[in-house]
Chains A and B, each alone.
Chain A
Amino acid sequence: AQTVTQSQPEMSVQEAETVTLSCTYDTSENNYYLFWYKQPPSRQMILVIRQEAYKQQNATENRFSVNFQKAAKSFSLKISDSQLGDTAMYFCAFMPKGAQKLVFGQGTRLTINP
Chain B
Amino acid sequence: DTAVSQTPKYLVTQMGNDKSIKCEQNLGHDTMYWYKQDSKKFLKIMFSYNNKELIINETVPNRFSPKSPDKAHLNLHINSLELGDSAVYFCASSQVGTDNEKLFFGSGTQLSVL
Residues of A within 8 A of B (CB): 33, 35, 37, 39, 42-45, 47, 50, 52, 89, 91, 95, 97-98, 100-104, 106-107
Contact = CB atoms under 8 A, between A and B. Distances in A.
A33 B103 CA distance: 11
A12 to B, nearest CB: 17
Interface in B41-72: 41-45, 48, 50, 55-56
Interface stretch (B11-19, B20-28, B75-83, B94-102): B94-102
Please classify how large the interface on chain B is, using the bins under 10, 10 to 19, 20 to 34, 35 or more.
Answer: 20 to 34
Given A43-B88, A98-B96, A98-B97, A104 B42 contact: yes
A104 B101 CA distance: 16
Contacts of A37: 105
A43 B43 contact: no
B107 A102 contact: no
Interface SS majority for chain B: strand
B83 to A, nearest CB: 21
B25 to A, nearest CB: 14
A9 B43 CA distance: 15
Contacts of B48: 100-101
Given A50-B102, A100-B55, A44 B108 contact: yes
A102 B103 contact: yes
Contacts of A52: 99
